[in-house]
Amino acid sequence: MPDSSIRIVTYNVRYFGHMLRGLASTVGPKRRVAFALAGLDPLPDVVCLQEVETSSLRSTIADRPKLPGETQLMAFMGRMEETFAAQGRDMPYEAFYFRAHHYKLGEVSLYTTGLAVLVNKRTLQVDKHNVDSPMSITHHHVQRLKDRKQSRICAHMRLLRRDDGRPFHVFNTHLSLPTPFAREFWSTKDKMGCGVNQLHEARKLAEFVGSLRADEPFIVCGDFNSPPSSPVFRYLTGEVSFTCAQAAVGQIDPSVSRGFPTAGFMHMRMHLDHMFSGGGVRWLDTEETHPFGDLKSRFHGLSDHMPIVARFALEALPVTLPVPGVPSVG
């Protein structure tokens, strides 16, 4: 019987600029991230990326576009093509970009923000997406600064499994950092995941998921800037009843905030990235998911975040028994 499990990756790639501490994108990280993703076995069916540029001074000053109008995602997919071609394989991914924000100085685009989703066309078919109008979840604590604040969005895709047509939803997002304009920011020691703005965004995210999933299986993943045991994490896994993939397979204790860091800054280690689910998703494993700083990971040193790589199954559909005296349809 063929394996019908689905493998998904969520990864904050830091604009492919980790070599220059995020100041500018370079071609090296694109090639190394492409090589690392292509080396996963089995290949992921879905790859969700955060912190992907459109096209700007930051994304092009050290890695000039090969073609007019080439975006950062197009450049990365070019490196994916090269990687698979060098290995004698066809590149199976189709990429979708969800634009979030655009910072300009006059007519010069300084930097842009966005999300991306790569879909394996061999195993999945795209049914719907919100590329043209990603859902805004940004909470503006100070209204007069809202045009300067980095926009936060949620990307959505409804995908169909090619072998049987089973649908499921993927939501990719990146929550804000806790706002320093709230009193709570200065009165709490552990700030990540405690921001009032973050809780507002988590609520908007949960409402958006609920409005689209229609009782179908779903995955919500991304950079939540919130560790386990934080108010944001407890809201999503408690009040909203999302299931944490890493907790479901026993990789983390959800009550411990620093047990499995997924990101690092200087000497700090934080667990900020998550993968959640609901509606009939059963998590199988998180193989190739390593904590930040693990030298054994193929993703070590490629970003200030580490990816979460997980595999899940869709629960069997309930069998509807025929009612005596009522003819079956179909």
Structural domain includes residue 182: yes
Cα–Cα distance, 73 to 98 (Å, whole number): 10
Angle at CA of residue 46, ends 157 and 156, nearest 5°? 15
- The range of the structural domain enclosing residue 225 comes to 5-314
Structural domain includes residue 122: yes
pLDDT digits (tens, 9 = 90+) for 74-119: 999 999 999 999 999 999 999 999 998 555 445 544 456 799 999 9
Interstrand relation of 153-161 and 281-285 (parallel, antiparallel or unpaired): unpaired
Cβ neighbours, 10 Å, residue 161: 16
- 3-state SS, residue 59: helix
Cα–Cα distance, 292 to 313 (Å, whole number): 27
Cis omega (within 30 of 0) on the bond before 92? Answer: no
Cα–Cα distance, 36 to 40 (Å, whole number): 7
Report the CATH number at residue 269: 3.60.10.10
Structural domain includes residue 102: yes
Q: pLDDT tens for the chain, 330 residues: list them.
A: 467 899 999 999 998 875 545 444 566 889 999 999 999 999 999 999 999 987 543 444 445 556 656 788 999 999 999 999 999 999 999 999 999 855 544 554 445 679 999 999 999 999 999 999 999 999 765 444 444 446 899 999 999 999 999 999 999 999 999 974 445 543 455 679 999 999 999 999 999 999 999 999 999 999 999 999 999 999 999 999 999 999 999 999 999 999 999 999 888 999 999 999 999 999 999 999 999 999 999 999 999 999 999 999 999 876 555 556 555 433
- Count of domains observed in the chain: 1
Structural domain includes residue 321: no
- The whole-model pTM stands at 0.87
Alpha helices per DSSP H over 188-309: 196-212, 231-234, 245-248
Rounded mean pLDDT of the chain? 85
Which whole-number Å values give the CA distances from 173 to 25, 74, 169, 243, 270, in the listed order?
A: 21, 20, 13, 16, 18
Share of the chain above pLDDT 70, in %: 77
Q: What confidence score (pLDDT) does residue 183 get?
A: 52
- DSSP at 88: T
Structural domain includes residue 143: yes
Amino acid type, 217: P
Structural domain includes residue 237: yes
Structural domain includes residue 242: yes
Q: What confidence score (pLDDT) does residue 150 get?
A: 61
Structural domain includes residue 326: no
Q: What confidence score (pLDDT) does residue 65 get?
A: 54
Cβ neighbours, 10 Å, residue 267: 5
